[in-house]
Structure 1
Amino acid sequence: MDITGAFRVLTKGLSPPSYKTPKVQTACTGHMTTVYTDGSCTDGGYEEARARVGVWFGDGDGRNSVRVPVELPQTNNVAESLAVLLPGRKAPRDGNLIIKTDSQYVIDVLEKYREKIEDTDWLEQTNCAVLEPTIAEIRCRQGKTTLIKVKGHSGEIGNENTDRLAALGAEKEPGRPIDLSIDERVKVKGAKLSRMTQALLYKGIRRVKAQSVPPRRGMVAGLDAVRHAAHSERHQ
């Protein structure tokens, strides 16, 4: 019996797993929900960047939303990831959920690369703050969650409405903070030892140490000066 995959590292300070996962239904016990999502960003890479999110359940549906969270990096990938997390929390958990998105990035992370990302403790993946809660939310659902790729700007009514909602988000004031907590029952903790390289272990150790060291004031001031100079040059 091969037990090499059972050993995990970089778990210092984490509570041991409970091994109690939520019960998974073998069939849908509720109705089917279909939602269209879109996320994008204007002025990406600059201080004035504004991430915007559109979630569309249908005309006049009170769950339709536009969120521009200020506590998260204002990037296109963060917005697209958040656009999948939000409907997972708004739709009934006991029903099947179909999420239609034009983001190949999110589909690849959640379906193609998820196992590798979790096995290496997110050391090679950005946007962990949004993607990890998204994966946990899908795991907690009793119904089946399906991601379907749709072509952007193809005239499909749902996709066009999410584009409209996302565009409105760029003009709105920043939204309220979003709960990004993760149910401990479904959180994958640490990294699988059999998947780690020396470089990844070193990176993980540095990450652990960095969590206890505050950022240097001089470095923060220097980065602010660079951002200000880039902004001034861009608008001359």
Structure 2
Amino acid sequence: MNNGKADAQAGSGIFIRTDNPMNRAIRIPGPDQSNQIGELVAVIIALQNAPAFAPITFITDSMYVIEGLTIHLGSWEDRGWVGVENSRFFKAAAYHLRYRSATTDFKWVKGHNGDPGNEAADKLAREGALKLHPDALNLAVPTYQAIRNTKADKHPPRRSASTNLARIQAGLEELTEHPETIPQLWLQCRNTNLRPLVRQFLYKAIQHAYRVGDFWMPIPGYEERAICPFCRDSSDNLDHILLECESPARKIIWLLAADLWPDLYGPWPSINFGTVLGCGKLSTHLPNPPDQREQAPRPDSPSDNPDTPRPHPGASRLLQILISESMYLIWVLRCERVIQQQTHGPKSIASRWTNAMNRRLHIDRITACKIKRTPKETTKVTVTWKGTLKNESTLPPDWASHPEVLVGIRPPRTPTQWRLQAIPRAPHSPAPAGGRA
């Protein structure tokens, strides 16, 4: 009413459906009275009262609200809301939008054009503007840190995640002799040495998010899914799938990973569940005299003591790639075997693993010579794959920076270890179990 005048009196209308208890006629409080504020307040109050998990579609005739909360919001925040009219209302609306876990959509309709919902909302807005007393309106927006603290208080770490993190700490300390902090273990899920799909798998595995093994035990009628369909005497938990299962895929893949590990880096390390899930933080050093170790770059030196073995960047990165790619392929083949009822022969398993390694090598080369194009990136690729390539002695020294040069990993040195393994069948065909590749 009287929009733009000193005696303006604004109202907001929220219409869901006839006789819905969330329908509201609101009188805007405070000195700021305009149609635009009335439209923003309707969005704010609707977001405050609607469940955060329920999808919402706002149908409004206000392009001002729609464009402000979708197109312009990012630029307004980037400039610190300087010069933005009605900024405190937009801030409140943006905060409640981001707090929601479900989708929120906006749909524009032409105003005063016979749309039943729009006409009903306008009627409620006029009714609100005529109310004798203004309604209470909460525009408080917690700071970002306060939001993080609030969510941390409401959602403490999962007990299963805490258990996995403790196992990762113990496994890494046993292998590298250096303890890792919990924040660092979460950050390793962002390690760019690992492919995005592998990083996602690591995060979900640490959170115990996959429906395997003991997850099924308390559910009546699904107890059999908790047992490994291949071994038949063990729970099909993730540690069993990756490191203990008698399936040929698991055995062959770890044999191939150990076989590709260059002799110059020493023996293949003894791995456990903690080191597998913490593969993004693995490091190793050359078992050579100190004068040879000094030749390698030392970006992550743990000590200034020259006698302290220093992680070798190429060996450490190769170890992270071998373990992460092998771990993920074991999981993928397990899902294909259990869920899709596929059968994998030894040659098929070896071919899948070789293709995964060659794909990872190809990604490294493309990154070095077409995306980043720096000598540092080329050197990183060269030192990572040293000792693993087919006919490496005949390759040009700058093979990493020339994608036209055909490069692939060498074949296994002891192929009979996996080729001669028979494929025993499970006692009976199991029901499809949970988990997803």
TM-score, with structure 1 as normaliser: 0.59
Contact in 2 for aligned 1:139/1:186 (Cα 8 Å): no
Q: Give, in whole Å, the separation in 2 of the partners of 1:108 and 1:86.
A: 19
Partner of 1:50: 9
SS at match of 2:57: strand
Structure 1 gaps, min length 5: 1-41, 189-236
Contact in 1 for aligned 2:52/2:100 (Cα 8 Å): yes
Partner of 1:85: 44
Q: Taking structure 1 as reference, are residues 172 and 95 closer, same or farther at Cα in structure 2, changes over 3 Å only?
A: same
Q: Give, in whole Å, the separation in 2 of the partners of 1:104 and 1:174.
A: 29
Q: Give, in whole Å, the separation in 2 of the partners of 1:167 and 1:49.
A: 12
Contact in 2 for aligned 1:136/1:187 (Cα 8 Å): no
Q: Are residue 97 (structure 1) and residue 56 (structure 2) matched?
A: yes
Greater share of helix: 2
Partner of 1:119: 78
Q: Give the greater-gyration-radius structure (CA).
A: 2
Q: Give, in whole Å, the separation in 2 of the partners of 1:92 and 1:183.
A: 19
Q: Give, in whole Å, the separation in 2 of the partners of 1:152 and 1:46.
A: 22
Deviation sequence 1:133-190 (CA, Å, 0-9, x none): 00000000010111110111222211111011112122212323211111323899xx
Q: Give, in whole Å, the separation in 2 of the partners of 1:111 and 1:125.
A: 15
Greater share of strand: 1
Moved more, 174-183 or 130-139: 174-183
Partner of 2:138: 179
Out of 50, 55, 63, the position equivalent to 2:22 is: 63
Structure 2 gaps, min length 5: 148-437
Q: Give, in whole Å, the separation in 1 of the partners of 2:86 and 2:67.
A: 14
1:68 Cα shift? Answer: 1.4
Give the alignment of 1:1-236 within 5 angstroms.
42-185=1-144
Partner of 2:298: none
Identity of matched residues, %: 28
Say how many residue pairs are matched: 147
Q: Give, in whole Å, the separation in 1 of the partners of 2:69 and 2:56.
A: 15
Q: Taking structure 1 as reference, are residues 93 and 72 closer, same or farther at Cα in structure 2, changes over 3 Å only?
A: farther
Q: Taking structure 1 as reference, are residues 153 and 44 closer, same or farther at Cα in structure 2, changes over 3 Å only?
A: closer
1:115 aligned partner, one-letter code: G
Q: Taking structure 1 as reference, are residues 59 and 78 closer, same or farther at Cα in structure 2, changes over 3 Å only?
A: same
SS at match of 1:50: coil
Q: Give, in whole Å, the separation in 2 of the partners of 1:58 and 1:44.
A: 27
The alignment yields a C-alpha RMSD, in angstroms, of 1.8
